Amino acid sequence: GAVVSQHPSRVICKSGTSVKIECRSLDFQATTMFWYRQFPKQSLMLMATSNEGSKATYEQGVEKDKFLINHASLTLSTLTVTSAHPEDSSFYICSAFTPLGDTQYFGPGTRLTVL
């Protein structure tokens, strides 16, 4: 099946710094990718829809200036958490649709810890 990777898998940073998370579709081109956030023992919450070559669409309540999304190519989307704070600590997961658009494939997730 289609493979989606994320890098890094874990990151620890100091409060006030910015962190970039990459999401790549390894064997297919993805015009649309999604970014989710998952808290412990909680469901995945959709943060934004990332469209190649255009601005991301953010869900209600998600700060677009804090969570910067760039989808510069058909195989790469990045999420940058700017001026991170401890409350941003979470598990961030991306996903992508194959060109057929019938199945969403997920990355393994990135664990962000902000000290």
**Contact window for another protein (CB under 8 A) among 14-22, 30-38, 69-77, 78-86:** 30-38
Q: Is the peptide bond before 8 cis (omega within 30 degrees of 0)?
A: yes
The residue from 19, 93, 112, 114 that contacts another protein (CB under 8 A) is: 93
Q: Minimum Å distance from CB 83 to another protein?
A: 28
Strand ranges (E), 1-115 = 4-7, 10-13, 19-25, 32-38, 44-51, 57-58, 67-73, 76-81, 90-97, 104-106, 110-114
Contacts to another protein by CB under 8 A: 1, 4, 6, 31-32, 34, 41-44, 46, 49, 93, 95, 97, 99, 101, 103-109
